[in-house]
Amino acid sequence: MKTAADLVRATELVPGGLERSSSKDLGMRLTLDMLGAKYKYVTGYGSNQPARLAFERNEINFFVESPPAYRASVAPTLVKSGVAIPVFYDTVFNGESYPVPKQIADLGILPFHEVYEKLKGSKPSGPMWEAYLNITTLRGTMQRIAALPPGAPQAALQALSKAFAKVNEDPDFAKDSLKVIGFVPDFETGPQVARQVRQALTIKPEIKAFVEKYTGVD
């Protein structure tokens, strides 16, 4: 494989996962199925490290890593040596649009929905796409949320929001983040966040049913 386009032509693609019902496995399988790729799915590695080792041993040849792990362990070794190539990053959805996270912006990697459109000539849609967006949102985009209880003082809410906004623009924080974790976290804040979170986390009953059937796990 040389580019993402080779995914749809591959005949011996072996993606590796952690366990059948994990969000990482589901997102990976959904992207490959939406692209129409032919593959032999192998799972049960339990965590990223043994799966990455399986990749290095050529037991599997497709795997999903988090941005921090990609920057710290994959890019400087497997990608730099030509053993691995990045094909896309999971589309980030905030309930209304597809923003590019700071931790991804400088890597030169396209989001999945853009890769899909380039290869298929149309925008992704349907239950697989909806399930994928729900999964990526729950797994990553809104995995960590700072929230106050209903009825919290408005002054406290505004103070917390302003504090996060200042952190976003703090060069010292950015410098320390790059040194310690290899990327700069992107804090989404403002009056629109509550609405976006509710929209993104509202999962249709038919999509829940689809995912249950798709996993094949009771």
Q: Is residue 41 part of a domain?
A: yes
Give the list of residues 6+ apart from residue 20 with CB closer than 8 angstroms, or none.
43, 215, 216, 217
**Sole residue written with tokens 């890019």:** 75
Q: Are 36 and 8 in contact (CB under 8 A)?
A: yes
Q: Is residue 181 part of a domain?
A: no
Q: Is residue 159 part of a domain?
A: no
> Rounded CA gap, 138 and 131, in Å?
11
Q: Is residue 20 part of a domain?
A: yes
How far does CA 122 lie from the centroid of its chain?
21
Confidence band for 180, pLDDT divided at 50, 70 and 90 = confident
| Structure tokens, 210 | 């689809």
Q: Is 195 left (phi over 0), alpha (psi -120 to 50) or beta?
A: alpha
- Does 4 score more than 50 pLDDT? yes
- Does 218 score more than 50 pLDDT? no
Q: What are phi and psi of 131, to 5 degrees?
A: -65, -40
For 113-127, what is each residue's pLDDT tens digit? 999 999 999 999 999
Q: Are 67 and 104 in contact (CB under 8 A)?
A: yes
Q: Is residue 172 part of a domain?
A: no
Confidence band for 100, pLDDT divided at 50, 70 and 90 = confident
Q: Residue 55's domain spans which residues?
A: 4-142+190-215
Mean pLDDT for all residues in the chain = 87
Size of the chain in residues:
218
**Sole residue written with tokens 């032509």:** 9
Predicted local distance difference test score (pLDDT) of residue 44 = 94
Q: Is residue 153 part of a domain?
A: no
Number of domains in the chain: 1
Beta carbons within 10 angstroms of residue 99's beta carbon: 15
> Rounded CA gap, 8 and 169, in Å?
41
Q: Is residue 180 part of a domain?
A: no
Q: For the chain, what is the HEC assignment?
A: CCCHHHHHCCCCECEECCCCCCHHHHHHHHHHHHHCCCECCECCCCCHHHHHHHHHCCCCCECCCCHHHHHHHHHHHHHCCCCCCCCCECCCCCCCCCCCCHHHHCCCCCEHHHHHHHHHCCCCCCHHHHHHHHHHHHHHHCCCCCCCCCCCCHHHHHHHHHHHHHHHCCHHHHHHHHHHHCCCCCCCCCCCHHHHHHHHCCCCHHHHHHHHHHHCCC
Predicted local distance difference test score (pLDDT) of residue 143 = 65
